[in-house]
Amino acid sequence: MGADHSKEQQFLTLLEKHKGILHKVARMYMDNAEDREDLHQEIIIQLWKSYDSFRSGSEFSTWMYRVAVNTAITSFKKEKSRTERFSSDEVTDVASEEYNQEKDHQLELFYKAVQGLNPVEKALIFYFMEGLSHKETGLNLGLSEVNVRVKLNRTKEKLQSIIKQQGYEF
Amino acid sequence: MNFDDMKSRWDKEPSGDVKIPQQTALLGKAKHPVDQLKRNMRAELWTQTAAIIIMAFYPMMFHLDASLNNYYYLVYALFVVISGYYIIGFYRFYKQMHNYASDTRDSLLELYYELRLSMERYKSFGFLLLPFANIMIGLKFYSNQLQKGIPMDSFPDKTLYAMLLIVIAEVLLMMWALHTWVNRFYGKYARQIKSVSDELKEEI
């Protein structure tokens, strides 16, 4: 009982420390607040259920990346089709959306543009933004280093093109 | 705007919208498609088990002629063995924990093949039950004839052919319904998983 409680507390402490991963994965994969909240909850549940697979000697963040991205990639619930979700009207309306001054406007535009990527492209961009090397990204996704480089370059070009379509320089 | 600039903004982004619960017991029920499928499966397992138990009373419920009881329970024993095999298979899938901590490609492929296996298991289970269902209905029909004192060989050929056609039509209809039902509940998700895993194919 005591060991279980200690394990749970250790898990929650680590989660609190790395909750930025939850926030960013949800921003990448869900385009509205309600779905993002659901995804936070879902990822926490899967992390807790998989916690026994985490080896204390390894990095919690590395393990958490995998569980979070794998959960997000396989959560198709409420996800509309990409064309429906990413209409050109929506793109041009980004700048006129109600804007929270505390939020970084450019980051908001970036997240909007990311919604035009497929789930694997989102994962590639996420790992790139988190500063993972091609090798580390490859290990997380199950791809070779060379393939990560090729796919990532292509994805970055696609993302730049989407942002340009929104009328911004990138 | 460029990626370096974006990365520094990304690193500084606050994550205040994430609420970490005080206890894991406060976490709600998982809504992930795999968990929902497993919950549906658990409900079906209970229904199937209840159906098997109820089928044991079929001769009493439908007043089967006593001379046919032994034949019925011989068929029923086979039905129980086959159903048990499949139900244990479904139960194992239900209890199995999906590994989200492996690399994405392995995780997706494992999930995809588990789903495909379950879909095929459902279909073959349904197809295997069809002959049993027909035999049970046939026994009831035969029982009625026996109780009325009408021998089976007194049926005109036309009636027998009509019965055969009805059975074939019923089997085909049930096969179509089963195929449609399985694809409706599992097919869409399996296709989505396959489509994402295809994106991870090596290109060089």
A135 in contact with B, Cβ within 8 Å: no
Asked if residue A96 lies in contact with residue A105, where contact means CB atoms within 8 angstroms, the answer is: no
| B18:A38 CB<8 A | no
Mean pLDDT of chain B: 88
Q: How far is CA B182 from CA A126, B17, B121, B175, in A?
A: 35, 38, 10, 11
Q: Count the Cβ atoms, other than its own, within 10 Å of residue A164.
A: 12
At B72-93, the pLDDT tens digits run 999 999 999 999 998 888 888 8
Cα–chain-centroid distance for residue B155?
A: 38
ipTM for the assembly: 0.81
pLDDT band at A147 (very low <50, low <70, confident <90, very high): very high
Question: Which member of B9, B21, B192 has the closest CB to residue A104?
Answer: B9
CA atoms within 13 A on the CB side of B199: 21
- Give the separation between CA B58 and CA B48, rounded to whole angstroms: 15
For residue B26, pLDDT over 60 is answered with yes
Question: What digits encode the pLDDT tens for the residues A104-131?
Answer: 788 899 999 999 999 999 999 999 999 9
Quick check: A45 and B199 CB within 8 A? no
Q: Does any CB of chain A come closer than 8 Å to the CB of residue B105? A: yes
Does A115 contact chain B (CB < 8 Å)? no
Confidence of residue A72 (pLDDT cuts 50, 70, 90): very high
Interface test with A, best of B2, B9, B12, B20 (most A CBs within 10 A): B20
Task: Kindly state whether B19 is in contact with chain A, defined as any CB-CB distance less than 8 angstroms.
Answer: yes
Determine which of B11, B104, B109 to mutate to test the interface with A (most A C-beta atoms within 10 Å): B104
